[in-house]
Amino acid sequence: MSKVRLGVLISGNGSNLQALIDACRMPDFPAEIVLVISNKADAYGLTRAKQAGIQALVVDHKAYASREAFDAALHEALVAQRVQLVCLAGFMRLLSPGFVEKWPRKMINIHPSLLPKFKGAHAIRDALAAGEEVTGCTVHYVVAEMDAGEIILQEQVAIHPGDALDSLAERVHAAEHRIYVEAVRRLASLPAQYH
Ligand code: GRF
């Protein structure tokens, strides 16, 4: 059976991208990364993509007059590579409703909290500051409202007494890498959804 073609959108380090790259190296993994797009030219994830021999593009949002024009450039690049499932992996731009509607149940995101708790860009810090005993991470479908799409998979991470942001973030990221790979495996194993 042919593999589901992934497009991964990043803005930074790309450790989740790396987890997907590593998984896709396994012969029985049902997906392959055909394109990585970063909105930032200095994202380390671009280096990871190049090292893995994956086509990587910079689409700089600052070069576009509007969010819609930027999103149209993203869409064009994804379609040109016949991407079937879009994976947001630390992609720090809000996507317009028009773009999101073009990828219904075909675009997913990894978020570092147990959604619906702690939406937004500082979820690990916010969970720690709230004095929670447990946080975690979530893979969800992307809808127009930020961090609000249907949940696909979650993993809990205990917050230890004395945890600092770094120590907690390290465990949350390790959990992210596990569930993002597992979510892609599950979705890509239902190829009728993508072909
Ligand atoms: C992760 O914590 C992810 O949940 C959030 O952004 C971070 C990206 O990290 N959306 P990386 O670039 O994958 O290392």
Atom of ligand 1 nearest to the CA of 14: 12
184 closest CA partner among 115, 109, 116, 94: 109
Distance 94 CA to ligand 1 centre (A): 15
- Per the structure, the complete domain to which residue 17 belongs is given by 4-188
* pLDDT of residue 97 exceeding 90: yes
Structure tokens at 76: 């064009």
Residue 195 belongs to some domain of the structure:
no
Tell whether ligand 1 has an atom less than 6 A from the beta carbon of residue 89: yes
Residue 193 belongs to some domain of the structure:
no
The CA distance from 129 to 63, in Å, is 37
Atom of ligand 1 nearest to the CA of 176: 4
Residue 64 belongs to some domain of the structure:
yes
pLDDT of residue 119: 97
* pLDDT of residue 195 exceeding 70: no
Distance 42 CA to ligand 1 centre (A): 16
Taking only the tens place, the pLDDT of each residue in 84-96 is 999 999 999 999 9
Tell whether ligand 1 has an atom less than 6 A from the beta carbon of residue 147: no
- Could you tell me how many residues make up the chain? 195
b/e map 129-157, b = 16+ CB within 10 Å: eeebeebbbbbbbbbeeebebeebbbbeb
The number of distinct structural domains making up the chain is 1
Distance 114 CA to ligand 1 centre (A): 14
Tell whether ligand 1 has an atom less than 6 A from the beta carbon of residue 90: yes
Atom of ligand 1 nearest to the CA of 172: 2
Taking only the tens place, the pLDDT of each residue in 112-155 is 999 999 999 999 999 999 999 999 999 999 999 999 999 999 99
Residue 59 belongs to some domain of the structure:
yes
Tell whether ligand 1 has an atom less than 6 A from the beta carbon of residue 13: yes
pLDDT of residue 194: 76
* pTM greater than 0.95 (yes/no): yes
Residues 83, 35 contacting (CB under 8 angstroms): yes
The CA distance from 166 to 160, in Å, is 12
The sheet that has 107-111: what strands, in order across it?
Answer: 56-58, 31-38, 4-10, 85-88, 107-111, 134-141, 151-158
Residue 100 belongs to some domain of the structure:
yes
In this structure, what CATH number is given to the domain that contains residue 121?
A: 3.40.50.170
Among all chains, which residue has been given the structure tokens 């939406």?
A: 119
Give how far Cα 143 sits from Cα of 7, 95, 127, Å.
17, 9, 23
86 bridge partner residues: 7, 107
The CA distance from 37 to 182, in Å, is 22
- Choosing from 75, 111, 122, 160, the catalytic residue is 111
87 closest CA partner among 137, 21, 2: 21
173 flagged as catalytic: no
